């Protein structure tokens, strides 16, 4: 999964990374001000294709020396402390994501990864639904506090993701891919673990990403197209700008990722590879 998967209205790019936006209107989904913090957010992110799941959070305050997060049970889950030159500079925005353990027995996974499997139900037992409290401390001892909610409203993974060389398409899904089947989710709803079946969770926005599927270190890999479109668009399709495609060499292997983002910023992504951009001889032929 791409690394800039923070659920904010902004799209970030590191030095040397090209992020092109199509003409489709984007969805603004900034977190509401969080009491003494400019922003705070906790969310669940699922990669339905790889079958992994993680906890993400954002804390944005002014001139902080320390910050922390407490879960609904009063247990501290994160603590940050600025020291040395960082204490002189102060903290503002802190974003982090947990490790993303497998939620299924992937037959292609390493034995070490299979030893650390965390099923969806186990993950939800670990991360309690409810109010997460953010706290911060300034240089003069000033205290900042804020609260935000973690919900189990998990949007279903997009289905039938495809790229025909110019357009990315997908369908609304009804499960969480390798993390939980439709029947698994039905059982979790009937048991009261989930408040709603993912197929019925409203999608506020879809995030669509196309990137070259090349080896690490290849500068072509820095050319990434990413856009967010409304969840209620009439046709689930995005046309990739010709200007972006022109930046890629002939026969560039690419992969596509489409994420369904719920109103609480929980997100479920589907990845598909094996596509070819600017196809001439064919990407498979070129690799051979």
The DSSP secondary structure of the chain, one letter per residue, reads: --S----SS-----TT-EEE--SSPPPP-PPPPBTTBSEEEEEEEEETTTTEEEEEEEEEEEEEEEEEEE-TTS-EEEEEE--THHHHH-EEEEEEE----BSS--TTS-HHHHHT---HHHHHHHS-SEEEEEEEEETTS-EEEEEEEE----PPPPEEEEE-SSEEEEE--SS-GGG--HHHHHHHHHTTSSSS-GGGS-EEEEEEEEEE---TT-GGGGEEEEEEEETT-SS-EEEPPHHHHHTSPTTEEEEEEEEEEETTS-EEEEEEEEEEES-SS-HHHHH-
Nearest Cα to 178, choosing from 56, 274, 269? 269
Q: Which CATH number does the domain housing residue 3 bear?
A: 2.60.40.10
User: What backbone phi and psi angles, to 5 degrees, belong to 272?
Assistant: -140, 135
Q: Is residue 189 part of a domain?
A: no
| pLDDT at residue 105 in the model | 80
Does 23 share its domain with 164?
yes
Does 167 share its domain with 246?
yes
Gap between the Cα atoms of 86 and 66, Å rounded: 11
Does 25 share its domain with 35?
no
Each of the 288 residues of the chain gets a pLDDT tens digit; together they read 544 343 443 333 322 333 444 433 333 333 457 888 889 999 999 999 999 999 999 999 889 999 999 999 999 999 999 999 999 999 888 899 998 888 878 677 677 766 788 999 999 999 999 999 999 998 888 899 999 999 999 999 999 999 999 999 999 999 999 999 999 999 999 999 999 999 999 999 999 999 999 998 899 999 999 999 999 998 999 999 999 999 999 999 999 999 999 988 999 999 999 999 999 999 974 444
Does 164 share its domain with 24?
yes
Contact call for residues 46 and 267 (beta carbons, < 8 A): yes
Does 73 share its domain with 128?
yes
Does 22 share its domain with 39?
no
| pLDDT at residue 115 in the model | 74
Gap between the Cα atoms of 261 and 256, Å rounded: 16
Nearest Cα to 49, choosing from 269, 259, 227, 214? 269
Does 209 share its domain with 159?
yes
Q: Which whole-number Å values give the CA distances from 138 to 39, 43, 61, 186, 249, in the listed order?
A: 16, 26, 10, 47, 50
Gap between the Cα atoms of 79 and 203, Å rounded: 32
Does 12 share its domain with 46?
no
Q: In terms of C-beta density within 10 A (0-12 exposed, 13-18 middle, 19 or more buried), how is residue 222 classed?
A: middle
| pLDDT at residue 284 in the model | 75
Gap between the Cα atoms of 288 and 273, Å rounded: 17
| pLDDT at residue 71 in the model | 97
Q: Which CATH number does the domain housing residue 133 bear?
A: 2.60.40
Look up the domain containing 162 and give its range: 1-30+153-178+197-288
Does 251 share its domain with 158?
yes
Gap between the Cα atoms of 79 and 135, Å rounded: 9
Longest CA pairwise span in the chain (Å): 65
Q: Is residue 54 part of a domain?
A: yes
pLDDT tens digits for range 52-64: 999 999 999 889 9
Q: Half-sphere exposure (CA, 13 Å, Cβ side) for 233? A: 20
Query: Of 135, 150, 165, which residue constitutes the final position of a domain?
Result: 150
Does 94 share its domain with 9?
no
Q: Is residue 79 part of a domain?
A: yes
Contact call for residues 270 and 49 (beta carbons, < 8 A): yes
The bridge status of strand 39-47 relative to strand 267-277 is: parallel
Does 268 share its domain with 128?
no
């Amino acid at each position: 999964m791409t690394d800039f998967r923070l659920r904010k209205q902004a799209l970030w790019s590191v030095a040397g990374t090209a992020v092109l936006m199509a003409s489709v209107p984007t969805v603004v989904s900034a977190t509401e001000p969080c009491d003494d913090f400019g922003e705070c957010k906790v969310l669940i992110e699922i990669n339905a294709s790889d079958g992994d799941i993680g906890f993400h959070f954002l804390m944005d305050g002014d001139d902080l020396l320390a910050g922390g997060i407490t879960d609904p049970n009063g247990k501290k889950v994160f603590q940050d402390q600025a020291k040395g030159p960082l204490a002189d500079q102060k903290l503002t925005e802190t974003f982090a994501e947990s490790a993303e353990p497998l939620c299924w027995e992937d037959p292609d996974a390493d034995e070490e990864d299979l030893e650390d499997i965390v099923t969806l139900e186990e993950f939800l037992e670990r991360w309690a639904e409810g109010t997460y409290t953010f706290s911060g401390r300034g240089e003069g001892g000033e205290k900042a506090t804020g609260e935000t909610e973690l919900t189990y409203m998990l949007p279903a993974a997009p289905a039938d993701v495809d790229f025909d060389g110019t357009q990315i398409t997908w369908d609304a899904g009804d499960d969480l891919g390798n993390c939980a089947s439709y029947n698994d989710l039905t059982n979790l709803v009937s048991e009261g673990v989930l408040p709603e079946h993912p197929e019925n969770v409203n999608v506020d926005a879809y995030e669509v990403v196309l990137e070259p599927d090349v080896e690490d270190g290849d500068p072509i890999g820095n050319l990434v197209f990413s856009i967010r479109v409304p969840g209620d668009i009439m046709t689930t399709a995005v046309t990739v700008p010709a200007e972006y495609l022109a930046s890629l060499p002939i026969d560039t292997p690419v992969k596509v990722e489409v994420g369904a983002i719920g109103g609480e910023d929980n997100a479920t992504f589907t990845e598909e590879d094996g596509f070819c951009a600017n196809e001439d001889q064919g990407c498979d032929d070129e690799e051979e």
